[in-house]
Chain A
Amino acid sequence: MVDDHEKPLSLVMFSGTDDKLTAAAVLAVGAAVMGRPVNLFLQYYALDAFRAGRVNADHALSPEATVSQAPLIRAHKGQHWSELLKQAKDVGEVNIQACALSMDMFGIGREDLDPIVDGIEGVAAFMASASDGQVVFI
Chain B
Amino acid sequence: MTQEMAMSITIAMSLDLKGLSCPMPIIKTAKAMKQLAPGQLLEAFATDPGSVPDFKAWAQTTGNPLVESSQEGGVFRFVLRKKEI
Contacts and interface: CB of A to CB of B under 8 A. Distances in A.
B58 interface: yes
Contacts of B21: 76-78
A55 interface: no
A91 interface: yes
B1 to A, nearest CB: 36
> Which bucket holds chain B's interface residue count?
10 to 19
A128 B57 CA distance: 28
A91 B61 contact: no
A102 interface: no
Contact of B27 (A5, A29, A35, A76): A29
B58 A26 contact: no
- Most chain A beta-carbon neighbours within 10 Å: one of B27, B31, B34, B62: B27
B62 A84 contact: no
A35 B61 contact: yes
A33 B58 CA distance: 8
Given A5-B61, A33-B58, A34-B62, A91 B27 contact: yes
A35 B62 contact: yes
Nearest to A5: B61
A10 to B, nearest CB: 18
Contact of A34 (B22, B24, B31, B58): B58
Contacts of A88: 27
Interface string B3-31: 00000000000000000011110110011
